[in-house]
Amino acid sequence: MKALIVLEDGTTFWGRSFTGSGEAFGEIVFNTAMTGYQEILTDPSYRGQIVTMTYPLIGNYGINDEDNESLRIQVEAFVVREYQPFYSNWRAKRSLGEWLKAYGILGVDQVDTRALTRHIRLQGAMKAGISTQDLNPASLLERVKASPGLVGRDLVKEVTCEAPYRWKNGQIIPLEPFDPNGGPRVVVIDCGLKFNQLRLMEARGCQLLIVPAHTKAAEILSYEPDGVFFSNGPGDPAAVTYVIETAKDLLGKRPIFGICLGHQMLGQALGASTFKLKFGHRGANQPVKDLATGRIEITSQNHGFCVRPEELPKEVEISHINLNDGTLEGIRHRELPLFSVQYHPENAPGPHDSVYLFDRFLEMMHSYREGKIS
């Protein structure tokens, strides 16, 4: 089925829908990972976005039941060069096309994704629309321009959990009290978290309680956690003012670790602002330098906004930078038990170079329990 892609600047691309009739609108971005499309599609950070894969052949290993990073597909639409319906993998249960269709997500292939990616790199990420129904470029362009963008938009409210729950043995379970004799107690503020963050913390013996993004600091502290984790998520961090206020209220009261959107909101709680990157960082091959050790980490990333380092107070140390463009990738407070990173140390998909950050959080919580930090 013929599909038309129209970008906000009027550029058009033609392709073929492999999921049937449909339409989608969102910010169009590209991801440079060669594998991991299932994890990418279920990452809540992609809510409001149309994702294009730069690797040309997608779908060849199908979809399984273990690699989802949330409870549903999160992207608005999926664009690839060549879709492979005949998958081969011992864990696969269904094809990519069948899975997208079950969730009503438009999948389009036979698109010149090299040209599309180059255009986004040169002109920047922008709004776009895809349709199999409205094949008039002028008509679809008007609808694209009328659609909402990401700047100033709170998408966290669309992906956060509705009520608190526990994560145990790799599963979501009803809310229950922490075991006083168990491992470190972590309250996870769900701004659009990925399940592998929970898997990695549980593997380190942590007890996990996940709360909605709108949860106030007083309620979080009432659970008597040993640490608070701010997750990743979609949209403009400046629009999620309620989480920023919660972060301000928690500063210095418990060890804090933030990832991606969580990092951006912690940066704002500390006094800095954020800005939108031209085309963002999305992929599994972003080089990041740890300024303390000089070590280079190859990281998984997915963000379109960044914290302004020059606005951070002197009490906050820049810990990591992106080697492609020099942007801020991590901070550490010199006095308080707090650190955060812009990238995804939980991988899924991507390299495992940065998993040590979960060990750092664990050590910080043990120090808090032992009274070595307050």
Q: Is 260 a catalytic residue?
A: yes
Q: Give dist(CA 234, CA 49) in Å, integer.
A: 9
Strand pairing of 12-17 and 106-109? antiparallel
Q: Give dist(CA 339, CA 185) in Å, integer.
A: 18
Catalytic residue among 8, 76, 329, 346: 346
Quote the longest CA-to-CA distance of the chain. Answer: 66
User: Of 245, 211, 203, 205, whose CA–CA distance to 228 is shortest?
Assistant: 211
CB 238 within 8 A of CB 154: no
CB 167 within 8 A of CB 173: yes
Q: Give dist(CA 46, CA 44) in Å, integer.
A: 5
Beta strands in 178-295 (DSSP E): 185-190, 207-212, 227-230, 256-259, 274-290
What's CA 227's distance to the chain center, in Å? Answer: 21
- Hey, what are 279's tokens? 């085309």
- Hey, what are 328's tokens? 């801020």
User: Of 120, 2, 99, whose CA–CA distance to 50 is shortest?
Assistant: 120
Catalytic residue among 260, 281, 297, 306: 260
Q: Indicate the burial class of 149 (C-beta count within 10 angstroms; 0-12, 13-18, 19 or more).
A: middle
Catalytic residue among 119, 263, 281, 344: 344
Helices (H), the chain: 37-41, 96-102, 113-123, 137-146, 156-159, 195-203, 217-222, 241-250, 261-269, 356-369
Q: Is 82 a catalytic residue?
A: no
Q: Is 161 a catalytic residue?
A: no
Q: Give dist(CA 47, CA 371) in Å, integer.
A: 40
- Hey, what are 119's tokens? 């255009």
Residue type, 254: R
Known catalytic residues?
260, 344, 346
